[in-house]
Amino acid sequence: MSNPQAPAPPPPPTIPLEKLAELLRSTVRWRILRELAGGDQLMVVELAERIRKSKDVTSKHMGLLRSAGVVLQGRNRLYQIAPQFLADKTERLLDFGYCLLRLNVPA
């Protein structure tokens, strides 16, 4: 019989560790993830303003995050964190299986 108060097991990793490590080595991508970790859906131009980078630079990084499956592009070109990685919007906590990212502090 399982314990109803036991925490849920972490999700299995869906991105290879090498790919995740490569994605996380950029401070620009960390800033993008921090902005999206609050659960907002944002356009590239909005993200660029928030992270203080050009639209072109932001778009390049969004393409990498999207191709890895970390972010999804929805209607009207709005981006969001893929729901399987968004563990807690309030705390801006992302769970990649290998690691938890706490993004609730300014970068």
Q: What's the CATH code of the domain at 25?
A: 1.10.10.10
Kindly state the percentage of the chain with pLDDT values over 70: 87
What pTM did the predictor assign?
A: 0.85
Residues 81-95: b if buried by 16+ CB within 10 A, e if exposed? bbeebbbeeeebbbb
Whether the CB-CB separation of 60 and 66 falls below 8 Å is answered with: no
Crossing angle of helices 44-51 and 27-36, rounded to 10°: 120
What's the rounded mean pLDDT across residues 30-38?
Answer: 96
Residue of higher predicted confidence among 1 and 26: 26
Domain-embedded: residue 1: no
Domain-embedded: residue 38: yes
Residue 3: what pLDDT? Answer: 60
Of the ranges 60-64, 68-72, 87-91, 96-100, which one carries the lowest mean pLDDT score? 96-100
Residue 32: what pLDDT? Answer: 97
Domain-embedded: residue 87: yes
